[in-house]
Structure 1
Amino acid sequence: MAAENLSSLPPVPPLRFPTYITSVDISPQARILCEILAAAPVHEVEARLGSTLIQPDPETAQQVLKLSYNNPSTAAKFFRWAGLAQKHTGYSWNLMVDLLGKNKLFEPMWDAIRSMKQEGLLSLTTFVSVFENYCIARRFDEAVMTFDVMERYGIPPDIVAVNSLLSAMCREDNQTVKALEFFDRVKAKIPPDADSFAILLEGWEKEGNVAKAKNTFGEMVIRVGWSPDYMFAYDAFLNTLVRASNADEAVKFLQVMKGKNCLPGSRFFSNALDIFVKQKDSVHAVMLWDIMVGGGLVPSLVMYNVMIGLLTADNNIENAFRLLDGMAFHGAFPDSSTYNMIFECLIKNKMVREVGKFFMEMVKNEQQPTPANLTAAIKLLFDGDDPEIAIEMWKYMSTNNISPRDEGANAVLLGFCSMGRLSDLRRFAEKMIDERIIINESTMTKVKNCFYKEGKGSREIYDQISRKWKSSYV
């Protein structure tokens, strides 16, 4: 059927093009034509187009068609009019076929395809568009029928056509089973390649179908073997296992893949780490890490921090230190987040000696502890009979003006109270008040009790501190 017969489409009210006609990619001629299509009644479109005296070249026609998907009737009239002046290119015809398919106008779409056949302009691209639009419309049987009739139109169905239809089906929700039915029907005639299996595996991944993914993966290994080039298929298969909490099986398959030099890529690694974090599964995360890094993958700083965060949340400090020690080797230098996660874990587990040593390492490497970590560490060290390091931490907070530091200051004063170190208590309290640090009323009560039980002279010292404290709030 010729292009002019496309004008028999049912009329659709013209739509405005709010952003299209201001596009920087549109030519002046195409802009004029789009403005007419946007404003003219459908029955006047061709007359108004003719009045412009524009002879649209193929590029102009293509620009207008690309902007006309929301108005198929107007587009058809423009297509007929432009075709009278100059034959349309195969690309313009493909745009028209796609436009009609997107609007579910399948009968006119096939009319256009027949016209393309007569003019020798059909290509695989045409049929890929038809596959996609039938699948978007959930008319999967018609999509398969289109594949079956390709040869009648002079386009031999090959593996690219097979994979295009598989992909169109699998993009739609819960249609991978239907894609598999098509795959099973054609695979004897057209042998599948790695992309065929990758498309199906990505479909099973999206649907979370572990059993089908295992079957498809097994068939893939038998038919196309192993290759580092099949990374997308491996990623999809392993993601399916991990998301379904089949971590043991994922690790087993990873070990096999490592032996074949076919480990998945960083996409899977990053996704799997995120899943293990949500599942709070540090055991399998460590297994995954050791296989992937041992196989040559170089983790980024973000990956290291995700992993160390998971390990420290699970109090797995030994493996956290192991990863920290290996970071520089992989060119991922730890940042303050890395250090603070480990520092917090040491504090949480009351590892007094390690807290002090790690603090010194942080200072040496110019990695600043957070105010919350410093406050918690000061409390721990006073309780753990290591007040000198606690005092060093406070001096570090003061020297580096780390804020907020009110809670750290209160922790220092309470630590001196617990140890009965009145001279230090007085000296630090007065200095803190001078610096307008907020000392809590509950802290001052304990300071008072500490001084008062030592007799009259100490009471007078406290009273001086108290007056100074009260006046600082005036």
Structure 2
Amino acid sequence: MAFRRLFSQRRNLLKLLQQPLPLHVFSLIPQNPDGFALNKVKAFKFARFFSQTILSDPSPLPLSEHVNDLCRVLSDFRSPHHDIESALNPFSSHIAPNLVEQVLKRCRNLGLSAHRFFIWAHKLPNFIPSRESYHILVDILGKCKQFPLIWDFLSEMKNGGFDIRPEIFWVIFRAYSRANLPMDVIKAFEKMGDFGIEPSVDDLDKLLSFLCKNNLVTHAQEFFDKVKVDFPIGAKTYSILMKGWGDCGNSLEAMKLFDEMLERDCTIDVVAYNTLLTSLCQGGKSDEAYKLFREMKSRGLEPNACTYATFIRASCEANDVHSAVRILDRVRRYGLVLNVFTYNCVIKLFCKNEKVDDAYLLLDEMTERGVGPDIWCYNAILAAHCNLREVNQALRLLRRMKKGSCLPDRHTYNMLLKMLIDVGRIDRAMEVWDGMGEMGFYPSVTTYAVMIHGLCKKRGRIEDVCRYFEMMIDEGIPPYSCTCDLLRDRLLRLGLREKIHILSDKMQQSTSCSIQELSELMSSPSSSAKNARIQAKKGNKYNSRSNGEEINLDS
């Protein structure tokens, strides 16, 4: 993480280097017998930025470093009144389609600044955005519900002779569905023709799928009934709708669709049959599902791993360990391999019923069968260890994750750090923190909040609290307003007003405009904190979403 701080402060150093050096500075630079030249300086102290900075011959930075620097700019200038264009101008010579794509992917949750970045890049001479960057930006704007801007982009693409393909409309379908705007999804489908695209059954399937995934099944069914005569409907389309009704717990509607398939002489495949079985199980009709299961072979269908997985998941939902194990044994006997999601369900079932040893055996079985355990498998077991406050077992599991090439995520670290602090193993918590960089993980605002909020409850740890808070500021991560409140009030109770001023000044000097605006909240007295929060609200409104996260210190 020291390297991240180094890179995040490089812009300040470059700005300083671009300014004329005062004469007294040259007296600090060791003279070379061959004469002084700036590109031969190997070490030079800038006390305000680094203890020591190594300068060498200038060379092009790798793409990843430009991505890091640009993402930092987008994070620092995330508010509408921030002058992001001036901060981006020094990077104009490095802008390329691939670089823009990477920055947009990394900044999906910084909608406003990501959009402004794309507009800025689009205005650069000789820059032509890639198709993927348009798709990413449409997705970003959809998450921000900036739908008029999406249609402006499509019009620009059309007028510019850009070949618009159906995939970008799939992104629009998803955005409207997430925003709970089903009629706009349908209008977008109908407007495809305006952009030279004749809607196909694949486009219809995507529309229905996104509506169903967002609990808009009624609208999906109504639209399907309206247009089904215009498309060659097959088992896939019916399966999407059956799954939608099943997820809503309405197995009766799913059964009606299955019967309609039979009436229209649609070919019934295993996927459609499995979807119906899942819908029945989700609707609490497991007995009826078992009855249909026994009829599969008579219809010329052979049950597969997904068929059995349906009943395993139903047993897990019912907290029926015996039935889940019985079906699992049957799967093994037939030589079938379950997917990782089904294994996760069984592992969670074992952990819920304090059968952690059985969960570990299943973890070993997954590896033997070539099904790589994912982060959800490990987190389910880790949650059991944390609930039981089993420090050694939790740390051992973390080491196993590293060996198994499954990198921990923020949930892993948040659970583990919270447990270690709660049981008083601060030394272990700090060891875990220091090792996060080696695991390729860099803490976000929630992980910092876990450490700061947890340590604030411990006596004699205020120096550590301030240290982690300063690290967060150095990283350019705006803290939660409640974190500022908590730390300020804690320092006031301890009579450390001077430390509050120091932290507030540090925040004011940050390159992040959002952190600068939060400095007022930190420096305000507790009695007027509410008024200060109102003043800081405009700059802090994105904080709880800056990484797509809610503040939940229990995970």
Give the alignment's TM-score, normalised by structure 1.
0.52
SS of the counterpart of 1:27?
helix
**What is the alpha-carbon distance in structure 1 between the residues aligned to residue 235 and residue 253 of structure 2?**
17
Is 1:33 matched up with 2:102? no
The answer for the alignment partner of 1:238 in structure 2 is 277
The answer for the alignment partner of 1:169 in structure 2 is 211
SS of the counterpart of 1:69?
coil
Is 1:266 matched up with 2:308? no
**What is the alpha-carbon distance in structure 2 between the residues aligned to residue 105 and residue 152 of structure 1?**
20
> What are the residue-to-residue correspondences of 1:341-420 with 2, within 5 Å?
none
The answer for the alignment partner of 1:210 in structure 2 is 251
Q: Which of the numbers 71, 80, 100 marks the counterpart of 1:61?
A: 100
Paired residues of 1:29 and 1:54 also in contact (CA < 8 A): no
SS of the counterpart of 2:93?
coil
Q: Deviations over 1:329-381 (max 9, x none)?
A: xxxxxxxxxxxxxxxxxxxxxxxxxxxxxxxxxxxxxxxxxxxxxxxxxxxxx
Is 1:156 matched up with 2:198? yes
Deviates more, 1:274-283 or 1:37-46: 274-283
Task: Quote the offset at 1:279 in angstroms.
Answer: 8.9
Paired residues of 2:111 and 2:143 also in contact (CA < 8 A): no
Task: Determine which structure has more spread, i.e. the larger CA radius of gyration.
Answer: 1
Task: Quote the offset at 1:29 in angstroms.
Answer: 1.9
Q: Which of the numbers 107, 115, 125 marks the counterpart of 1:76?
A: 115
User: Relative contact order (alpha carbons < 8 A, sep ≥ 6): 1 or 2 greater?
Assistant: 2
Paired residues of 1:194 and 1:224 also in contact (CA < 8 A): no
Q: Which of the numbers 48, 70, 84 marks the counterpart of 2:87?
A: 48
Q: Deviations over 1:128-147 (max 9, x none)?
A: 01100101000000001100
Q: Which of the numbers 176, 179, 194 marks the counterpart of 2:220?
A: 179
The answer for the alignment partner of 1:97 in structure 2 is 138
Task: Quote the offset at 1:96 in angstroms.
Answer: 1.4
The answer for the alignment partner of 1:395 in structure 2 is none
Q: Which of the numbers 256, 270, 280 marks the counterpart of 2:295?
A: 256
Is 1:133 matched up with 2:198? no
Paired residues of 2:176 and 2:184 also in contact (CA < 8 A): yes
**What is the alpha-carbon distance in structure 1 between the residues aligned to residue 108 and residue 282 of structure 2?**
38
Task: Quote the offset at 1:182 in angstroms.
Answer: 1.1
**What is the alpha-carbon distance in structure 2 between the residues aligned to residue 46 and residue 245 of structure 1?**
57
**What is the alpha-carbon distance in structure 1 between the residues aligned to residue 120 and residue 211 of structure 2?**
35
Task: Quote the offset at 1:299 in angstroms.
Answer: 6.1
Q: Deviations over 1:196-230 (max 9, x none)?
A: 11111111221121211111111223446345xx3
Is 1:225 matched up with 2:266? yes
Give the alignment's TM-score, normalised by structure 2.
0.45
Paired residues of 2:238 and 2:257 also in contact (CA < 8 A): yes
Aligned length: 279
**What is the alpha-carbon distance in structure 1 between the residues aligned to residue 71 and residue 83 of structure 2?**
14
Q: Deviations over 1:14-37 (max 9, x none)?
A: xxx99x99xxx9622222222222
Between the aligned residues of both structures, percent identity stands at: 28
The answer for the alignment partner of 2:155 in structure 1 is 114
The answer for the alignment partner of 2:532 in structure 1 is none
Two-structure CA RMSD over aligned residues (Å): 3.8
Task: Quote the offset at 1:245 in angstroms.
Answer: 4.5
**What is the alpha-carbon distance in structure 2 between the residues aligned to residue 105 and residue 53 of structure 1?**
26
Structure 2: any 5+ residue segments left out of the alignment?
9-61, 347-555
**What is the alpha-carbon distance in structure 2 between the residues aligned to residue 281 and residue 46 of structure 1?**
59
Structure 1: any 5+ residue segments left out of the alignment?
1-16, 307-474
Task: Quote the offset at 1:98 in angstroms.
Answer: 1.3
**What is the alpha-carbon distance in structure 1 between the residues aligned to residue 169 and residue 64 of structure 2?**
29
Aligned AA for 1:270? A
